[in-house]
Structure 1
Amino acid sequence: MSDKTIPVLTIDGPSGSGKGTISRHVAQRLGWHYLDSGALYRAVGIAASWADIDLSDASALVRCTFDTEVGFRDESADEPRVIVNGVDATDELRTETAGAAASAIAAIPEVRAALKDRQRAFRQPPGLVADGRDMGTVIFPDAPFKVFLTASADERAERRYKQLKEKGVSVTLDGLLREILARDARDASRAVAPLRPADDAVRIDTTGQSIDAVVERVLALLPERAA
């Protein structure tokens, strides 16, 4: 089976839109593989911090990208554990610091190019659900199924606040809202692969909607595969 015949569902959207949670649930329902593209960028950011690499040093970050080994280990129905250079970095990966580093690194064209093939390698039978910011526009432009999730900035901040508080992380709602708005601006304005819906993506506003409701809406886009 060639890559082009393996179906891909891309789910893009800004931070806090629910794309990670929705993507995992949809992948489980379909029995497809799952790609958390953001975890790759966060992993590089963490590896760079471990190596004391300045995030403004593009050449060093590109070398770090090639040198960083990232693996995913499923242990439950929850999100998979992320192994960076042999170390379980899952908890560190989900911090706001790691997210900010990922956003900065993602603006470097050479880093994006270095990760492109690694992301496309996740396209394996019977299918792939890929979540990120440029899955439908750059990484899998030929994907037959594309979704772009959105939600109000206030709701996205509230979701992130609850998620982090449950993990014991000390944060403020106002601070998270500012970070989300700043990241939206960075991701949408970067020169390479800016955050935007693919022309053929179905847009879904998740504001006020339950996880189950959004999952069903996504699955309805490919009914022959959702049974």
Structure 2
Amino acid sequence: MNFNIAIDGPAGAGKSTVAKIIADKMNMTYIDTGAMYRAITLLSIQNGKTDVNDIIELAKQAKICINGKRVYVNGKDVTDDIRNIEVTNHVSKIAKIPEIRILMTKIQQQIAKNKGIVMDGRDIGTTVLPDAKYKFYLTADLKERADRRYKELIREGRKVTLQQIEKDIIQRDYQDKHRAVSPLTVAKDAVVIDTTAKTIIEVVNEILDYIKKGEGFVL
């Protein structure tokens, strides 16, 4: 495909799951930008770095590679590690650092330069790929998002409570929406989809139908 697709939204809205399926069905490359910020967060935790300047320097030196569903940092597979609860609780703090966002944005834009990319995150349609041909913003009720995240963590064997997950999402939403650089907002030309009462397949089909109409072909 000679166009890019941007999918944004808050935590638990289903954007990553939907984006992966869309990319697979359209034979496009999926890029999880959140994984890149998680990778830097993991590095900062592992190296005991809390000073902003130290974290920025760490990010500049890091070699992040996304190969399919696997994420590598400096040659090491960290796909599972970047999803742990400690990283989840700290990633918004790292992601709001202006220098980190600028660095990651440049990398993401370079990846999408040759088109055919499905990219999800929180500022894709507004900042990273403002010229993306198709933009979608997925949202959902807070309790629904918390419940989804809770069930996901329980399946992974994590010991968490629904109340704590809901509290974490509220805090993360606030940080994402109020950061100084590229806050979470809806792009003016994005199609907003409330996923609260919809299945993943229903959301996927809604997006595919929209693209089919725009492209004039059958997927």
What does 1:7-156 align with in structure 2 at a 5 Å threshold? 7-54=3-50, 57-74=51-68, 80-123=69-112, 125=114, 127-156=116-145
SS at match of 1:11: strand
Cα–Cα, structure 1 residues 84 and 175, in superposed 2: closer, same or farther, change >3 Å?
A: same
Whether the 8 Å contact between 2:31 and 2:66 is mirrored in structure 1 is no
> Which one has the bigger helix percentage?
2
Deviation at 1:16, TM superposition (A): 0.4
Deviations 1:71-117 (A, max 9, x none): 2233xxxxx12112222211121123212322101111111111111
Deviations 1:161-192 (A, max 9, x none): 11111111111100000000110011111111
Whether the 8 Å contact between 1:72 and 1:81 is mirrored in structure 2 is yes
User: Which of 187, 201, 207 is the aligned partner of 1:218?
Assistant: 207
Whether the 8 Å contact between 1:11 and 1:129 is mirrored in structure 2 is yes
Whether the 8 Å contact between 1:82 and 1:90 is mirrored in structure 2 is yes
Deviation at 1:213, TM superposition (A): 0.3
Name stretches of at least 5 consecutive residues in structure 2 with no aligned partner: none
Cα–Cα, structure 1 residues 226 and 11, in superposed 2: closer, same or farther, change >3 Å?
A: farther
More displaced stretch, 200-209 vs 114-123:
114-123
Output the aligned Cα RMSD.
Answer: 1.5
Determine the structure 2 residue equivalent to 1:199.
188
Report the residue type matching 2:4 in the other structure. V
1:105 & 1:111 partners in 2: Cα distance? 7
Report the residue type matching 2:54 in the other structure. A
Name stretches of at least 5 consecutive residues in structure 1 with no aligned partner: 75-79
Deviation at 1:121, TM superposition (A): 2.1
Whether the 8 Å contact between 1:62 and 1:110 is mirrored in structure 2 is yes
Determine the structure 2 residue equivalent to 1:77.
none
Give the TM-score, by structure 1 length: 0.91
Determine the structure 2 residue equivalent to 1:169.
158
1:190 & 1:73 partners in 2: Cα distance? 29
Cα–Cα, structure 1 residues 193 and 65, in superposed 2: closer, same or farther, change >3 Å?
A: same
2:90 & 2:2 partners in 1: Cα distance? 32
Give the TM-score, by structure 2 length: 0.94
Aligned residues: 216
More displaced stretch, 130-139 vs 103-112:
103-112
Identity of aligned residues (%): 38
What does 1:174-189 align with in structure 2 at a 5 Å threshold? 174-189=163-178
